[in-house]
Amino acid sequence: MHINLIAKREVKVGFRNPWSYSFMALFSLFSLGLLIIQSQSYMEGYTYTTGTMLNLILYLLPLMTMLLSSFSLTAEKEEGNWQLLSTYALTTSSFLTGKYVGQALVLIAIVCFGYGISGVAGLVLGKSFAVSTLLFLLVFSICLILLFLGIAMVIGALCRNRWQALTMGVSIWFFYILAWPTLLISVLSFVPYTWIKPLLQIVTFFNPAEFVRIYSVTRLGGGAIFGPEYYKWIYWMDSALGDVCFVALCLLWVGATLWIAARAWERR
């Protein structure tokens, strides 16, 4: 019940936040950009266009999610709302879960608005997305939002104010999105050759951006590009069991990050 209340309040506060609208404008612009990219080329399966679109979304969405949501959490501390809420019989976990659900709804609404605009604009411009493409991008984006929202909760719980959250959010974004291969390649050069592949596979599970990307590319039929090394992995991922496991992995990731966030929140 508390979760429900907190989530409702979060949605209300979220949509009164001017940051949400600036991100919505940015994302709408961005999805119109995607529309123009895709209209110049083919969209079926894994192509240059789909690859580029996935990467663009991977650049923008995690950063957006982490900033918006960690700010919302630190704001609770900065503005003293949490002290007020603490007087009620409210557990940290239900508070954070409520925040998570509310933020997720806000972000999904923003993304839906953006893709909705480009879907309608496609008709007006005569260069439309295919329905499957639009749905694929939407699902891909929602996955990223839900996973990075968990990280945002941890950031929000750890940081005292917005500036700390901003620093941490950007550095995590940089670590996960930009520096990830570079760091791995340099670190893995110190381990024995035979360890590289298993370590890389294990580590991939700790980077939501990577495993969502690999899963998406595989679902687009491009799994073979990862080479013979991952053939069994990709083959398995492309099966029905792979879908189930992917969902399970996402839930596990969200659950784990929320748990860590709750622990961190209580320590403060």
Partner 1 sequence: MKNAFFPTSSTKPACRKSLPVLIKSLRFLPRFIARLSHPQKKRDCYPECSWQPSLQKSSRALITKGESTLTRTRKNQIAFRLLLTSSLALALILPAAYPAQAEASLQALIDQAAPGDTVTIPEGKYEGPIRITKPLKLLAQGKVRLTNPSEEAALTIAADDVTLQGITVLDSRINSDDASIIVSGNRNLLEKVTVETMGTGIQLRGANANTLRNVSVIGKVKDRGSTSAGHDHSAHLSKSASKPKVTVQAQKGNGIDLYDSHDNHLIDNQVTNVFDGIYLEKSTGNELTQNRVEKSRYGYHLMGTTQTSLKNNTGIENVTGAMLMETANATVVGNRFLKQQQNPNSQGILLYDVKNSLLADNRIEGNRVGLYLERSSGITVTGNRLSLNFVGMQLTASTGNTWTNNQFISNVIAAQAQNSETDNLNGNYWDNLLGLDVDGDHKSDLPYEMNPFYLGLTDAIPAYQLFFQSPGFVFLENLFTSGTGSPIRDETPLMPTANVVSAESQTNSNWGAAILGLILLAGSCTFIYVGVKKS
Q: Please list every residue from 203 through 232 that binds partner 1, using CB under 8 A.
A: 204, 209-210, 213-214, 217, 221-222, 224-231
The C-alpha angle with vertex 14 and arms to 174 and 144, in degrees rounded to 5, equals: 40
Is 47 one of the binding residues for partner 1 (CB under 8 A)?
Answer: yes
Instruction: Look up residue 175 and give its DSSP letter.
Output: I
Kindly tell me which of 4 and 161 has the beta carbon lying closer to partner 1: 4
Instruction: Write out the DSSP string of 22-60.
Output: HHHHHHHHHHHHHHHHHHTS--SSS-HHHHHHHHHHHHH
In the complex, least distance from residue 191 CB atom to partner 1, rounded to whole angstroms: 11
In the complex, least distance from residue 159 CB atom to partner 1, rounded to whole angstroms: 24
Choices 44-52, 70-78, 148-156, 158-166 (CB under 8 A): range interacting with partner 1: 44-52
Alpha helices in the chain (DSSP H): 2-16, 18-39, 48-78, 81-86, 92-125, 131-158, 162-173, 180-188, 193-204, 208-219, 231-237, 240-267
Contact 169, 155 (CB under 8 A): yes
In the complex, least distance from residue 259 CB atom to partner 1, rounded to whole angstroms: 27
Q: Which of 29, 79, 127, 251 binds partner 1 (CB under 8 A)?
A: 127
Kindly tell me which of 41 and 81 has the beta carbon lying closer to partner 1: 41
Is 58 one of the binding residues for partner 1 (CB under 8 A)?
Answer: yes
Is 241 one of the binding residues for partner 1 (CB under 8 A)?
Answer: no
Instruction: Look up residue 192 and give its DSSP letter.
Output: -
Evaluated on CA atoms 257, 259, 262, 268, the torsion sign reads negative
In the complex, least distance from residue 104 CB atom to partner 1, rounded to whole angstroms: 12
Cα separation, 217 vs 212, in Å, equals 9
Cα separation, 255 vs 57, in Å, equals 24
Choices 74-82, 157-165, 192-200, 257-265 (CB under 8 A): range interacting with partner 1: 192-200
Can you give the C-alpha Rg of the chain in angstroms? 19
Q: Which of 4, 22, 55, 91 binds partner 1 (CB under 8 A)?
A: 55
- CA 244 remoteness from chain centre: 19
Is 91 one of the binding residues for partner 1 (CB under 8 A)?
Answer: no
Choices 82-90, 91-99, 157-165, 191-199 (CB under 8 A): range interacting with partner 1: 191-199
Interacting residues with partner 1 between 104 and 123 (CB under 8 A): 105-106, 109-110, 112-113, 115-123
Interacting residues with partner 1 between 160 and 189 (CB under 8 A): 177-182, 185, 188
In the complex, least distance from residue 107 CB atom to partner 1, rounded to whole angstroms: 11
